[in-house]
Chain A
Amino acid sequence: EDQVTQSPEALRLQEGESSSLNCSYTVSGLRGLFWYRQDPGKGPEFLFTLYSAGEEKEKERLKATLTKKESFLHITAPKPEDSATYLCAVCGSGNTGKLIFGQGTTLQVKP
């Protein structure tokens, strides 16, 4: 059974203090690993898709990396507007189109 575990559950950072969020996964045949951002009262918003180990994607202060067992979302010099819940999801080879989500990491960045 496909499974996703995210850590930590919550993270508090000072503005400018870089850190990383972890997503560990178990899946039979990875078709894609996805990162989403969710703000309170809104639906998740797509950030990145990673397809194979070694792949990296960047967007502003965010950088996502992928190994065969886990993915990291690195946040460099965060700002208060980066505060949100970050969700990781996987799609396995036996589940075309079906994403399994982790519980998320809630990030708070204080000015």
Chain B
Amino acid sequence: DAGVIQSPRHEVTEMGQEVTLRCKPISGHDYLFWYRQTMMRGLELLIYFNNNVPIDDSGMPEDRFSAKMPNASFSTLKIQPSEPRDSAVYFCASSLMTDQKLFFGSGTQLSVL
């Protein structure tokens, strides 16, 4: 298996623009997670899905953030409008309910100017 695949690898945008991050989880995994990593706050859980259904979105900073999982092999995290404070590395991860071991993608480095 190719592992968790995220795109794009890097994204540079201007304040106010819409940003869409994409994730393909490992085939067969029933959990999908979106994390954000910064120097100040470390790894923060934004939202996670079980069998394509959002379970906990309490980590989503505000209404500018939204996430969808239309099927078992694809998820998006959208920021609209983006702000400089959204600059961070965004990770997608997937796991099996049975062992809860997360497999992470390589991340998307987001810079909002």
Answer whether residue A87 sits at the interface, using C-beta atoms and an 8 A cutoff.
Answer: yes
Task: Let me know if B50 is at the binding interface, CB within 8 A.
Answer: yes
Stretch of A21-29, A73-81, A90-98 lying at the B interface: A90-98
- Name A99's contact: one of B99, B100, B105, B107 (CB within 8 Å): B100
Q: Mark A95-111, 1 if CB is under 8 A from B, else 0.
A: 11111111110000000
B-side interface residues, number (CB < 8 Å): 24
**CB within 8 A of B43: which of A87, A95, A97?**
A87
Interface string of B86-102 (1 = CB under 8 A from A): 00000101010101111
* Residues of A in contact with B (beta carbons under 8 Å apart): 31-32, 34, 36, 41-46, 49, 87, 91, 95-104
Contact of A97 among B31, B105, B107 (CB under 8 A): B31
> Within 8 Å CB of A32, what residues of B?
100
Please give me the residue from chain B that is nearest to A48 by CB atom: B101
Contact B106 A42 (CB under 8 A): yes
Task: Tell me, in angstroms, the Cα distance from A95 to B33 when the chains sit together.
Answer: 13
A46 to B103 CA separation, bound complex (whole angstroms): 7
Q: Roughly how many angstroms separate A95 CA and B31 CA in the complex, as a whole number? A: 13
Query: What B residues does A45 contact at CB under 8 A?
Result: 104
Please, which residue of chain A has its CB at the minimum distance from the CB of B58?
A98
List A contacts of B100 (CB < 8 A).
31-32, 34, 49, 91, 96-97, 99
